[in-house]
């Protein structure tokens, strides 16, 4: 006997993600799902962000990591609320993992929640966690071929942060080519060049975050 | 290796629909997989086989149907197969292509006894 189904395989995840999204809308929090390879500089970017914006924006961070709390420990130094999710080997965060820790967090007075995903350019792109937007950090040392090798993550990300641009002269990274590939995949994507160690380009990143926080507040207010 | 999570999703749906139809065995599960989904099919089959042991879906065949990545131009409305992940419209050269298919990950139907 044939039984018609037509159900999304990740439907359960999408349903929980939608619940998280409603929650973020109620609290008027801009939630960013930050993706990137291990070592791309996701946590470094967040450290800079926490230091620069902590008196201006009320922020919190959820850190996804396989086993350790190394990243959460780095963020905690900035006196920003941080919660660690250990996936015990799991290659991505899913909406249920995020929902569980949201219950433990005080989100009443927050503007920005960054969910730093497990370092991985493949799996996290398939799992919404309820974020407003995804962003990806790609570092120069990973190579300019990555956008086309991992198209989904760049397609899904509203912003690509190209990190470690200070070492461009010592590599064969083709900046124009990489940007062209990212724009081909996602014509309206924002692309910014930064160096977390040198501090260059970060103002552009902060401005983008400020705009998103502002836009989320306006959207949430309009819905009331 | 998110294929395990996908395999779990497939099995949950299959067992749910099998139970609703009082099935004793699931023989086949037909899947729709978009061209732009990050699913490694060998890994998916491997995960699925290990998950179904001891369930009524043990031995079930996974029939994979690929759905092409199609886009519609935001500016000129042209519909086209998206080649090499180029989301700029090949017709008008200026518009963005919005995905109309190719991101599916669905259980289409089951064959049960």
Q: Where are the domains of chain B?
A: 3-68+101-112
Whether the CB-CB separation of B81 and B70 falls below 8 Å is answered with yes
Gap from A28 CA to chain B (nearest CA, Å): 28
**Which residues, given as ranges, of chain A have pLDDT below 50?**
none
B85 to chain A: nearest residue by CA? A185
Q: Which residues on A lie below 8 Å from B107 (Cβ)?
A: 5-7, 9
- CA B105 → CA A8, A47, A222, B64, B86, distances in Å? 6, 36, 33, 10, 21
d(CA A44, CA A100): 26
Q: At what angle do helices B41-52 and B3-20 cross, to 10 degrees?
A: 50
Tens-digit pLDDT profile for residues A155-164: 999 999 999 9
Gap from B59 CA to chain A (nearest CA, Å): 17
Q: Domain-by-domain residue ranges, chain A?
A: 11-217
Gap from A136 CA to chain B (nearest CA, Å): 17
Q: Which residues on A lie below 8 Å from B10 (Cβ)?
A: 9
| Interface mutation vs chain A, best among B16, B63, B103, B107, most A CBs within 10 Å | B107
Write down the architecture of domain B3-68+101-112 according to CATH.
2-Layer Sandwich (3.30)
The verdict on domain A11-217 having CATH code 3.40.50.300 is: yes
Tens-digit pLDDT profile for residues A107-153: 888 999 999 999 999 999 999 999 999 999 999 999 999 999 999 99
% of chain B exceeding 70 in pLDDT: 99
Quote the pLDDT of residue B1: 67
Whether the CB-CB separation of A48 and A192 falls below 8 Å is answered with no
Quote the pLDDT of residue A88: 86
Quote the pLDDT of residue B91: 94
- CA A78 → CA A48, A51, A203, distances in Å? 10, 6, 19
d(CA A62, CA A118): 11
% of chain B exceeding 90 in pLDDT: 94
Contact A9 B6 (CB under 8 A): yes
């Amino acid at each position: 006997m044939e039984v018609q189904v037509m159900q999304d395989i990740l439907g359960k995840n999408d349903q929980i993600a939608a619940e998280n999204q409603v929650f973020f809308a109620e609290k008027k929090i801009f939630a960013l799902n930050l993706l990137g390879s291990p070592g791309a500089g996701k946590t470094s970017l967040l450290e800079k962000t926490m230091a620069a914006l902590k008196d201006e924006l009320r922020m919190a961070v959820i850190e996804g990591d396989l086993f350790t709390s190394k990243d959460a420990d780095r963020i905690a130094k900035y006196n920003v609320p941080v919660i660690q999710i250990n996936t015990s080997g799991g290659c991505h965060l899913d909406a249920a993992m995020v929902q569980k820790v949201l219950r433990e967090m005080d989100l009443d007075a927050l503007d920005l929640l960054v969910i730093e995903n497990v370092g991985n350019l493949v799996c996290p792109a398939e799992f919404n966690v309820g974020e407003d937007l995804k962003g990806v950090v790609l570092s120069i040392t990973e190579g300019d071929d990555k956008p086309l090798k991992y198209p989904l993550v760049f397609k899904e990300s509203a912003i690509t942060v190209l990190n470690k641009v200070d070492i461009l002269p010592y590599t064969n990274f083709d900046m124009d080519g990489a940007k062209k590939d990212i724009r081909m995949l996602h014509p309206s994507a924002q692309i910014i060049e930064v160096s977390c160690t040198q501090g260059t380009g970060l103002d552009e990143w902060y401005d983008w975050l400020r705009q998103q926080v502002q836009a989320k507040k306006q959207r949430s207010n309009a819905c009331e | 290796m998110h294929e395990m999570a996908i395999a779990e999703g497939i099995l949950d749906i299959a067992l749910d629909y099998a139970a609703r139809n009082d099935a004793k065995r699931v023989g086949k599960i037909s899947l729709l997989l978009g061209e732009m989904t990050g699913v490694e099919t060998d890994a998916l089959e491997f995960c699925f086989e290990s998950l179904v042991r001891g369930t009524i879906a043990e031995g079930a065949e996974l029939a994979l149907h690929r759905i092409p990545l199609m886009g519609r131009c935001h500016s000129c409305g042209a519909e086209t197969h998206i080649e090499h992940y180029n989301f700029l419209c090949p017709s008008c050269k200026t518009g963005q292509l919005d995905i109309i298919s190719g991101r599916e990950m669905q259980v289409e139907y089951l064959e049960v006894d």
